[in-house]
């Protein structure tokens, strides 16, 4: 369980460029949750996720993970960071080792694990992201963009984090690459009962497809926090915050505005298909 | 405006030679708005870089307004005719202030200072960024930065603007700002626009959609005609707008809807028509 209480953060306090990025943030993410954080550019999403594994310490407030306050001076940073893994934006640019194997092994090695255990974890991680074993001895720089990204994610998974955080995991990918990465993240979440996944995204379609729970940030504050259907039913408010709803939800809104009686919480194409099919069938019968 | 004749582009040599673009013949008409789609690695960015001589053909020719891009004497002329905007707004800002950024290209072209002033003011106005003229680019949002990048290209007074995934790193409202600006440039200023994108909703706004796969053009038609072939588009690793997918699925269930729906308005109209 992640519990964020009264969290505020100020960049460069007391300096001429002092800038408050987060204001009194409160939320909870239960174990095994699949949460999305959305918000306009500069809303504080990246600052917030860096707090979740103590890369940044709050100016005030606290963050508890499994009951432990990670903002405490005495907190064990090493154990926090192997428990909460962050995959940053465009992670393919963070690869640095000579071989794919060594890149993925870097985390477990720093955790002080023995060679056999490290090997197990590397193989487990590449299986999770569907990366071919034959390429383990290749240089990560010879891989395609999509493969590099998978290696970078495997490098975090090899630490077996309890909480996996991804900052815009599909940015810059084509639709097929996007489907692949999202499918893998979804599968990982399903297969590892209890693993919490949090992702930041600008794609409302991706959020609609994966998340159970959405936290909306607006100018450094939590503007909404709730279930996906409830959040996307508030399209107008989201638009005022520089966000949007999936195209399929825009369609629903447009039809409601024209007086068609239809539920407002439709946010995936599959679900929409069933709803519209029923509507058309009911219409046929009436005729 | 832009014409390729048997264009090919190869990376590597001899046995390792890999053809990114194969014998391509393409004509982008003056004043048109063309979207180029293709999966990662399909060669679309490589193609775009040929349009203003950043890359030169390994075989064949590229002409911009009749000028051969492989003619070294013409390269500056070509780059001021066809300007490019890239994906990452932070990688293309060079100046400390927005108006200096926009003045950078005309300064390098040796334009008269009074004329530079006029161009900077006008271009910032076009992209609706006048009030940020004295701001540091680092203090702008992603959408604002991309509009400054567009203004910086406009300051060269190009005939054509090529945008390589300009919205990939932006939030939804930033994406809208950029797309609105591009459409306006095309519709009211008559500028030729080539937009490379992974967002199908953006491609649906163009007059023409080109689907690129393995270095070749596999589809080339109006957005309606391209997206109504849902299966074929998906087979190239791409997608169709959500409303197009919905209509496609409903048609399969025997519901009578037009197959060429590509935006929310059209879809709402068609459904409303049958349900009202």
First-to-last CA distance in chain B?
46
Q: What pLDDT is recorded for position A172? A: 80
What average pLDDT is seen over chain B? 90
CA B19 to chain centre: 23
Edge-first strand listing for the sheet containing B59-64: B18-28, B2-11, B59-64, B67-68
CB B81 within 8 A of CB B64: yes
CB B133 within 8 A of CB B99: yes
Backbone angles phi, psi at B198, to 5 degrees: -105, 0
Note whether residue B272 is domain-resident: no
> Could you tell me the pLDDT band of residue B144, with boundaries at 50, 70 and 90?
confident
Note whether residue B186 is domain-resident: yes
Antiparallel, parallel or unpaired: β B192-196 and B160-164: parallel
**Min Cα–Cα distance to chain B from A259, Å:** 9
Q: Domains of chain A: which residue ranges?
A: 2-245, 246-287
**Min Cα–Cα distance to chain B from A238, Å:** 10
Note whether residue B41 is domain-resident: yes
Residues of B in contact with A174 (CB under 8 A): 38-40, 42, 198, 237-238
Average pLDDT over residues B64-85: 91
Note whether residue B183 is domain-resident: yes
| Dist CA A35 CA A37 (whole Å) | 7
Among residues A273, A223, A224, A284, the alpha carbon closest in space to that of A248 is found at A273
- Taken in order A236, A242, A246, A247, the sign of the CA dihedral is positive
Note whether residue B257 is domain-resident: no
Host H or E run for residue A12: none
| Dist CA B166 CA B187 (whole Å) | 19
Average pLDDT over residues B139-148: 84
List the single residue in B with minimal CA-CA distance to A143: B41
**Min Cα–Cα distance to chain B from A46, Å:** 13
Describe the crossing of helices B242-252 and A247-257 by its angle, rounded to 10 degrees: 80
Comparison of pLDDT for B244 and B44, the residue scoring more: B244
- Identify from B173, B245, B263 which residue to disrupt to test chain A contact, counting A C-beta atoms within 10 A and taking the largest count: B173
- pLDDT tens track for A52-81: 999 999 999 999 998 889 988 888 888 898
CATH of the domain at B200: 3.40.50.300
Q: Which residues pair with B36 in a beta bridge?
A: B196, B210
Give SS3 for B179. Answer: helix
| Dist CA B253 CA A284 (whole Å) | 13
**Min Cα–Cα distance to chain A from B235, Å:** 10
Residues of B in contact with A254 (CB under 8 A): 264-265, 268
Q: How many CB pairs under 8 A join A and B?
A: 118
CB A195 within 8 A of CB A156: no
CB burial string A257-274: b at 16+ within 10 A, e below: eeeeebebebbebeebbe
Residues of A in contact with B249 (CB under 8 A): 269, 273
Q: What pLDDT is recorded for position B14? A: 67
Note whether residue B268 is domain-resident: no
Alpha helix segments (H runs only) across A192-246? 204-210, 228-232, 235-240
Cβ of residue B272 closer than 8 Å to a chain A Cβ: yes
Cβ contact (<8 Å) for B172 and A242?
A: yes
For chain A, 287 residues long, give each residue's pLDDT as a single digit of tens: 999 999 999 988 888 878 899 999 999 999 999 999 999 888 999 899 999 999 999 999 999 998 889 988 888 888 898 899 999 888 888 888 999 999 999 999 998 999 999 999 999 999 988 899 999 999 998 887 778 889 999 999 999 999 999 999 988 888 888 888 899 899 889 988 789 999 999 999 999 999 999 999 999 999 999 999 999 999 999 999 989 999 999 999 999 999 998 988 899 999 999 999 999 888 888 77
Host H or E run for residue A109: helix A100-110
Q: Which residues pair with A227 in a beta bridge?
A: A213
- The CATH class of A2-245 is alpha beta
Residues of B in contact with A251 (CB under 8 A): 242-243, 246, 264, 267-268, 271
Q: What pLDDT is recorded for position B39? A: 86
Q: What pLDDT is recorded for position B40? A: 80
| Structure-block tokens of residue A235 | 């399209």
| Structure-block tokens of residue A175 | 């639709």
Q: Which of residues 230-249 of A touch B (CB under 8 A)?
A: 239, 242-244, 246-248
| Residue A20: half-sphere exposure toward Cβ, Cα within 13 Å | 12
Among residues A129, A142, A116, A139, the alpha carbon closest in space to that of A181 is found at A129
First-to-last CA distance in chain A?
54
- CB neighbour class for B46 (10 Å; exposed up to 12, middle 13-18, buried from 19): middle
CB B37 within 8 A of CB B211: yes
**Min Cα–Cα distance to chain A from B15, Å:** 17
| Strand ranges inside chain A, DSSP E | 2-11, 19-29, 34-39, 60-65, 68-69, 84-87, 163-167, 196-200, 213-218, 221-227
Q: What pLDDT is recorded for position A50? A: 93
Q: What pLDDT is recorded for position B15? A: 66
Note whether residue B253 is domain-resident: no
Q: Which of residues 47-66 of B touch A (CB under 8 A)?
A: none
Residues of B in contact with A249 (CB under 8 A): none
- pLDDT tens track for B180-197: 989 998 999 899 999 999
Q: Which residues pair with A68 in a beta bridge?
A: A65
**Min Cα–Cα distance to chain A from B66, Å:** 33
Backbone angles phi, psi at A130, to 5 degrees: 60, 45
Using CB atoms, which residue from A175, A258, A259 is nearest to B238? Answer: A175
Among residues B141, B139, B186, B181, the alpha carbon closest in space to that of B160 is found at B186
Cβ of residue B270 closer than 8 Å to a chain A Cβ: no
| Residue A49: half-sphere exposure toward Cβ, Cα within 13 Å | 27
pLDDT exceeds cutoff 80 at B16: no
Q: Give the DSSP letter of residue B29.
A: P
Q: Which of residues 182-221 of B touch A (CB under 8 A)?
A: 198, 200-201
Cβ contact (<8 Å) for A251 and B276?
A: no
List the single residue in A with minimal CA-CA distance to B237: A176
Cβ contact (<8 Å) for B87 and A172?
A: yes
Q: Among A69-73, A184-188, B28-32, B90-94, where is mean pLDDT lowest?
A: B90-94
Using CB atoms, which residue from B42, B172, B250 is nearest to A277? Answer: B250
- Structurally, chain B folds into a number of domains equal to 1
Using CB atoms, which residue from A172, A175, A243 is nearest to B168? Answer: A172
Residues of A in contact with B196 (CB under 8 A): none
Antiparallel, parallel or unpaired: β B33-37 and B192-196: parallel
**Min Cα–Cα distance to chain B from A67, Å:** 34
Using CB atoms, which residue from A175, A202, A244 is nearest to B198? Answer: A175
């Amino acid at each position: 369980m992640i519990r964020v209480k009264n969290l505020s953060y100020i960049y460069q306090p007391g300096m001429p460029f002092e800038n408050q990025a987060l204001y009194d943030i409160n939320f909870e993410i239960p174990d095994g949750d699949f949460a999305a954080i959305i918000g306009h550019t500069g809303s504080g999403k990246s600052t917030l996720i860096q707090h979740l594994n103590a890369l940044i310490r709050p100016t005030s407030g606290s963050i508890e993970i499994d009951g432990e306050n990670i903002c405490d001076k005495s907190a064990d940073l090493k154990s926090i960071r192997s428990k909460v893994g962050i995959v940053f934006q465009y992670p393919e640019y963070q690869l640095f080792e000579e071989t794919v194997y060594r890149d993925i092994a870097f985390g477990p090695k720093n955790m002080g694990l023995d060679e056999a255990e490290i090997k197990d974890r590397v193989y487990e991680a590449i299986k999770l992201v569907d990366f071919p074993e034959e390429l383990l001895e290749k240089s990560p720089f010879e891989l395609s963009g999509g493969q590099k990204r998978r290696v970078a994610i495997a490098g975090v998974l090899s630490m077996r984090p309890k909480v996996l955080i991804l900052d815009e995991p599909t940015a810059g990918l084509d639709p097929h690459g996007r489907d692949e990465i999202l499918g893998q993240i979804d599968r990982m979440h399903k297969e590892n009962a209890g693993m919490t996944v949090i992702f930041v995204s600008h794609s409302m379609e991706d959020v609609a497809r994966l998340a159970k729970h959405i936290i909306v940030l607006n100018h450094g504050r939590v503007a909404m926090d709730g279930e996906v259907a409830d959040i996307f039913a508030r399209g107008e408010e989201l638009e005022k915050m520089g966000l949007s709803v999936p195209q399929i939800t825009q369609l629903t809104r447009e039809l409601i505005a024209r007086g068609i009686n239809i539920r407002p919480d439709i946010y995936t194409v599959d679900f929409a298909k069933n709803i519209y099919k029923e509507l058309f069938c009911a219409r046929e019968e009436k005729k | 405006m832009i014409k390729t004749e048997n264009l090919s582009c190869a990376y590597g040599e001899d046995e390792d030679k890999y053809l990114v673009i194969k014998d391509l013949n393409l004509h982008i008409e003056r004043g048109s708005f063309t979207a180029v789609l293709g999966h990662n690695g399909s060669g679309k960015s490589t193609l775009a870089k040929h349009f203003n001589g950043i890359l030169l053909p390994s075989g064949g020719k590229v002409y911009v307004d009749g000028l051969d891009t492989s003619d070294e004497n013409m390269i500056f002329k070509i780059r001021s005719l066809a300007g490019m905007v890239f994906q990452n707004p932070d990688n293309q800002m060079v100046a400390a202030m927005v108006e200096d950024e926009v003045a950078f290209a005309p300064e390098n072209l040796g334009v008269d200072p009074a004329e530079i002033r006029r161009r900077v003011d006008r271009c910032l106005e076009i992209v609706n960024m006048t009030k940020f003229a004295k701001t540091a680019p680092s203090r702008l949002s992603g959408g604002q930065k991309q509009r400054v990048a567009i203004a910086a290209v406009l300051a060269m007074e190009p005939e054509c603007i090529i945008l390589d995934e300009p919205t990939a790193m932006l939030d939804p409202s930033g994406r809208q700002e950029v797309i609105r600006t591009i459409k306006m440039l095309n519709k009211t200023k008559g500028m030729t626009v080539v937009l490379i994108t992974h967002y199908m909703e953006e491609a649906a706004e163009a007059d023409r959609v080109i689907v690129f796969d393995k270095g070749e053009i596999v589809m080339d038609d109006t957005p309606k005609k391209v997206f109504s072939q849902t299966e074929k588009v998906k087979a190239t690793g791409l997608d169709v707008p959500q409303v197009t997918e919905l209509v496609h699925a409903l048609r399969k269930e025997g519901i009578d809807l037009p197959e060429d729906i590509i935006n929310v308005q059209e879809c709402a109209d068609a459904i409303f028509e049958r349900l009202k």
